[in-house]
Amino acid sequence: MIKIAKNRVSVWAVIGAVLFMIGQVVTNLYLPNLTSDLVNDGVAKGDVSYIWSVGGKMLLVSLLAVIFAFGNVLLAARTSQTLGKNLRRDIYQKVLNMSDDEFDQVGTSSLITRTTNDVIQIQNVAMVALRMMIMAPITLIGASFMAYQKDAQLTSIFIVVIPIIVVFIGIIMYFAVPLFKAMQTKTDKLNLVFREGLTGVRVIRAFVRDNFEQNRFDGVNRDYTNNARKVFSIMAAMFPVMTLVMSGTNIAITWFGGHLIANQAMPIGNMIAFMTYAMQILMSFMMLAMVFVFIPRAQASADRIQKVFDLKTRILEPKDPKKFSTDEPAQLDFDDVVFRYHGAEKPALIDVHAHMKAGQTLAIIGGTGSGKSTLINLIPRFYDVEQGAVRVNGLNVESVSKHDLQDQIALVPQKAVLFKGSLRDNLLYGNAQATDDELWHALEIAQAADFIRESDGLDTFVEQGGDNFSGGQKQRLAIARALVKKASVYIFDDSFSALDFKTDALLRQALRQDKTVNQAIIVIVGQRVSTVADADQIIVLEDGKMVGLGTHQELKENNEVYREIVDSQIKEGSASNE
Ligand X SMILES: Nc1ncnc2c1ncn2[C@@H]1O[C@H](COP(=O)(O)OP(=O)(O)OP(=O)(O)O)[C@@H](O)[C@H]1O
Q: Rounded to the nearest whole angstrom, what is the least distance from the CB of residue 378 to ligand X in the complex?
A: 10
Q: Shortest Cβ distance from residue 383 to ligand X (Å)?
A: 8
Question: Which amino acid is it at 101?
Answer: D
Task: Determine, following the binding rule CB under 6 A, whether residue 341 of this chain makes contact with ligand X.
Answer: yes
Q: Which stretch binds ligand X (CB under 6 A): 165-173, 194-202, 366-374, 473-481?
A: 366-374
**Other CB atoms closer than 10 Å to residue 378's CB: what's the count?**
20
Nearer to ligand X, 46 or 343 (CB): 343
* By CB under 6 A, residue 345 contacts ligand X: no
Q: Using the rule CB under 6 A, which residue among 56, 318, 369, 471 binds ligand X?
A: 369
- Strand duo 521-525 + 361-366: pairing: parallel
371 touches ligand X by CB under 6 A: yes
Q: What angle do CA 117, 123, 124 make, to 5 degrees?
A: 90
In angstroms, what is the minimal distance from the CB of 564 to ligand X?
16
Binding-site member from 368, 433, 553, 576 for ligand X (CB under 6 A): 368
> Is 238 within 8 Å of 292 (Cβ atoms)?
no
Other Cβ atoms closer than 10 A to 562: 24
564 lies in the binding site for ligand X (CB under 6 A)? no
Using the minimum distance from each CB to ligand X, give the nearer residue, 165 or 365. 365
CB of 227 or CB of 370, closer to ligand X: 370
Least distance (Å) from ligand X to the CB of residue 347?
Answer: 9
In whole angstroms, give the CA distance from residue 546 to residue 539.
7
Say which residues have a Cβ less than 8 Å from residue 96's Cβ, sequence separation at least 6.
none
Q: Is 374 in the site for ligand X (CB under 6 A)?
A: yes
Q: Which stretch binds ligand X (CB under 6 A): 85-93, 244-252, 323-331, 341-349?
A: 341-349
Site string for ligand X, 297-336 (x = CB under 6 A): ----------------------------------------
**Nearest residue (CB) to ligand X, 124 versus 373:** 373
The answer to whether 372 contacts ligand X (rule: CB under 6 A) is yes
Q: How far is the CB of 215 from ligand X (least distance, A)?
A: 31
Residues 23-82 that bind ligand X (CB under 6 A): none
Rounded distance between C-alpha atoms, residue 323 and residue 325, angstroms:
6
Rounded least distance, CB 96 to ligand X, Å: 18
Nearer to ligand X by Cβ, of 80 and 370: the residue is: 370
Question: Under the criterion CB under 6 A, does residue 100 sit at the interface with ligand X?
Answer: yes
Q: What distances in angstroms separate CA 554 from CA 535, 551, 560, one per listed residue?
A: 12, 5, 11
Who's near 271: CB < 8 A, 6+ residues apart? 150, 151, 154, 253, 254, 257, 258, 260, 261
- Dihedral of alpha carbons 164, 167, 173, 175, sign: negative
**Rounded Cα distance, 307 and 216, in Å:** 28
Q: Which of 374, 355, 328 is nearest to 536 (CA)?
A: 355
Which of 159, 208, 344, 432 is close enough to bind ligand X by CB under 6 A? Answer: 344
Based on the shown chain and the rule CB under 6 A, indicate whether residue 475 belongs to the binding site for ligand X: no
Smallest distance from ligand X to CB 288, Å: 48
In terms of Cα–Cα distance, which of 152, 173, 374, 164 is closest to 266? Answer: 152
Nearest to residue 350, comparing CAs of 312, 385, 299? 385
Nearest-10 crossing angle of helices 501-513, 436-445: 130
Total chain residues near ligand X (CB under 6 A): 12
By CB under 6 A, residue 548 contacts ligand X: no
d(CA 514, CA 512): 6
Binder among 370, 426, 475, 537 for ligand X (CB under 6 A): 370
Strand 489-493 relative to strand 331-339: parallel, antiparallel, unpaired? unpaired
**Among residues 82 and 373, whose Cβ is nearest to ligand X?**
373
- Based on the shown chain and the rule CB under 6 A, indicate whether residue 373 belongs to the binding site for ligand X: yes
- Should residue 576 be labelled a site residue for ligand X when binding is judged by CB under 6 A? no
> Which span sits near ligand X by CB under 6 A: 218-226, 363-371, 385-393, 532-540?
363-371
Q: Name the segment binding ligand X (CB under 6 A); options: 340-348, 446-454, 548-556, 568-576.
A: 340-348
Q: How are strands ordered across the β-sheet holding 537-542?
A: 395-396, 387-392, 331-339, 349-357, 545-550, 537-542, 361-366, 521-525, 489-493, 409-412
Evaluated on CA atoms 165, 167, 170, 171, the torsion sign reads negative
> 89-107 burial string, b = 16+ CB within 10 Å, else e?
ebbeebbeebbebbeeebe
Helices 119-150 and 268-310 pack at an angle, to 10 degrees, of 160
What is Dmax (Cα atoms) for the chain?
119
Q: How far is the CB of 349 from ligand X (least distance, A)?
A: 8
Buried residues in 243-269 as b, exposed as e (16+ CB within 10 A): eebbeebeebbeebbeebeeeeebbbb
Work out how close the CB of 348 gets to ligand X at its nearest, in angstroms, rounded to a whole number. 4
CB of 439 to ligand X, least distance (A): 29
Kindly state the smallest distance separating residue 371's Cβ from ligand X, in Å.
Answer: 4
Q: How many beta carbons lie within 10 A of that of residue 497, not counting itself?
A: 16
Pick the closer one to ligand X by CB: 34 or 385: 385
- Closer CB to ligand X, 258 or 369, in the complex: 369
At closest approach, how far in Å is the CB of 408 from ligand X? 22
CB 378 within 8 A of CB 406: no
Residue among 184 and 370 whose Cβ is closer to ligand X: 370
Q: Is 348 in the site for ligand X (CB under 6 A)?
A: yes
| CB of 313 or CB of 464, closer to ligand X | 313
Choose one: 1-9, 33-41, 364-372, 563-571; the region binding ligand X (CB under 6 A): 364-372
Per CB under 6 A, 366 contacts ligand X: yes
Q: Which is nearer to ligand X, 356 or 539 (CB)?
A: 539
Which residues here bind ligand X, judged by CB under 6 A?
100, 341, 344, 348, 366, 368-374
